[in-house]
Structure 1
């Protein structure tokens, strides 16, 4: 049986997902399963880690596709029989910051929710049963300050609503897994220089995933059901 911690990351071919995969893969006792819609996009990650003597496993995953999620689940079940960490990173921002909610195309909202909310739920529903075989399961959902009700503003309404809903999903999962060894938390990585965040963002992806890695490696007495930025709880 695989003794290393098995960590699955969605959307790992770039941005925060790639940074999280790189960070975890260099930590002792970790086996990272990096996923992306196009597995070929993970080749640079595998090559870079391989040059430093680290290994990452890769697998195809489209969080919006039932068959793709099932294929990943079946492969993980047959190969390892469990997972220990699930980082739900895959996400999109397709509406503009200047978009008014009164002018938001409903197809844009549907597309955003399909990835950012339903995709996360689809993957979690499929993989959480494998986490029950883990000694210390951890689910980390990549949210955003733009989903905070306490600081809700206008602009990019589809993205904002999807991240607010993701935080609700986090809370529900945390309640349903309370009393078990599984911990579920949301993280705001801050504004990072990724394809989604843009080149003007003040943070690097590596800085953005610090709290992600912290939540993925929480000790047994760590929190569950929280929303964190810079390793500190923030309002919902």
Structure 2
């Protein structure tokens, strides 16, 4: 029987690399994001300094998946639109009939996400609540009945250090703001609840913190010089993608539930990847 993975935010970055990693592992793949075709623009999206949109689209990810010989279904989904979220889930189930792995990776990334506390407005907090709390919950609730009926599944929620600890400095000086930290804190609590309520029915759930990842969005935010400065403390998106694949496909991974997995150190400790930092140092 074919296995199906659904990855949100798969037009670029960690989501794209996760979709490819799971396709290589033998999964047919459903992918979602707002950007279906290259060059589209959207409200609250990160862009280059000149205002041009970042490279990446569901169409390009889907093409790469097909090149690996796997079936793919791409669906446009906007986290800030609950009807869009529920519709995407329904379309995936209609197309594939099952979901064996759900990766809640997509996030809201508006410019207001890390505003200082006294600058936070109601609209920002509403968007964060919809994108970080309601959307992952709605997706998971939509798939759980089918997952339970098929005998189990794996759910992987992508969090951040901002949801686990206090910022080192104030927002605006390099730290994160309350909105982002609160949103990711909510994500960090989801997997443990799912394991407690559904673990005895075949549901495995994991929380993963990718750490600093050199995605297109990071490059657009801090520039290539900033990425070079971070090189020894960052990883390419293939690293968290490899960890997600390992969690989804390795039976003994179950013992790493009920904790936050620090993807970069975990990848090395478990021998999932070779040390990418050595190659980066040699290129510098």
In the superposition, the TM-score normalised over structure 1's length comes to 0.85
Aligned to 2:30: 33
List alignment gaps of at least 5 residues for structure 1: none
Q: 1:124, 1:90 → 2: CA distance? A: 13
Choose which of 197, 210, 213 in structure 1 pairs with 2:242. 210
Q: Is contact 2:28-2:70 (8 Å) kept?
A: no
**Aligned equivalent of 1:68:** 84
SS of 1:91's partner is coil
SS in 1 for 2:91: helix
SS of 2:211's partner is: coil
Task: Show the counterpart of 1:227.
Answer: 260
Q: In 2 relative to 1, CA 65–89 (structure 1 residues): closer, same or farther, beyond 3 Å? A: same
Q: Deviations over 1:90-132 (max 9, x none)?
A: 1123357974223323322222222122211121111222211
Query: 1 or 2, which has the higher helix percentage?
Result: 2
Give the count of matched residue pairs. Answer: 229
1:220 CA displacement: 6.5
Q: Residue in 2 aligned with 1:19? A: 17
- Structure 2: give runs of 5+ residues left out of the alignment: 38-56, 268-284
Secondary structure of the residue aligned to 1:34 is strand
Question: Could you report, residue by residue, the CA deviation over 1:20-75 in whole angstroms, capped at 9, with x for unpaired residues?
Answer: 011111223x1111112243331111223334544422122223323323323333
Shift in alpha-carbon separation, 1:110–1:82, aligned structure 2, 3 A: same
| The structure with more radius of gyration | 2
Q: How far apart, CA to CA, are the structure 2 residues paired with 1:45 and 1:138?
A: 22
TM-score normalised per structure 2: 0.72
Match for residue 181 of structure 1?
A: 202
1:217 Cα offset (Å): 2.2
Cα distance between partner residues in 2 of 1:52 and 1:178: 32
